[in-house]
Structure 1
């Protein structure tokens, strides 16, 4: 399907993938909130690790860890959001990057020794479904059409 200007409109599969990646971004931002709520558990884990930090140092390390991971999660969500818009506009490189990032996201769930949160699992599931939708035949045809139009 094309517009009056001759530009290809994304099929339902690409729109579904786009929506899925938007939802996955919401899950990523939600995981930041969950991380902030686990401060006491983080301090306890640091204390149990046998470290010789004072209480003030433990609190500081927990704060630095939380801000670091929250910043990383926010950057990842923003990059994923940007790539989702590029995907919807027919950029195949964005589809490839989103597929790779989603694979890393799913693998990270199994590497973190059970530290993943429910939002992390939800975001990975939705992103995985979005990747599948972005590689369906209708999506492939759309990306090929956009490529030929350039």
Structure 2
């Protein structure tokens, strides 16, 4: 079991084939995770990306896009260990690990909400999902 364990799901009301252009954009990765070095292990196009992570964390990260109804669920996973030494005092160590998890969970949600906003555009609540034609693809 790794110290950093993040798993999150976000429904995106847009055609699954649209996600590869957003999630596969390496420029966005630097903005979403500026301190991490990412090495692509598997680029699965509209199904997502898997990475090996290095820098302040060492481990794996994944975005998996699962088609659901007229959109998809963006699943985000991060499993890693901090590379910097943590406090040796058990309560302080637990607080440090909890804060690392919180920060990485927030970064994942920021990423997911950006993907959602970009792909759904101005779609109103309850309206059909954005398809490739509406998105200009």
Shared fold (TM-score, shorter chain, > 0.5): no
**Greater strand share, structure number:** 2
**Greater helix share, structure number:** 1
User: Which structure is higher in RCO with an 8 Å CA cutoff and minimum separation 6?
Assistant: 1
TM-score by length of 1: 0.32
Structure exhibiting the larger radius of gyration computed from Cα positions: 1
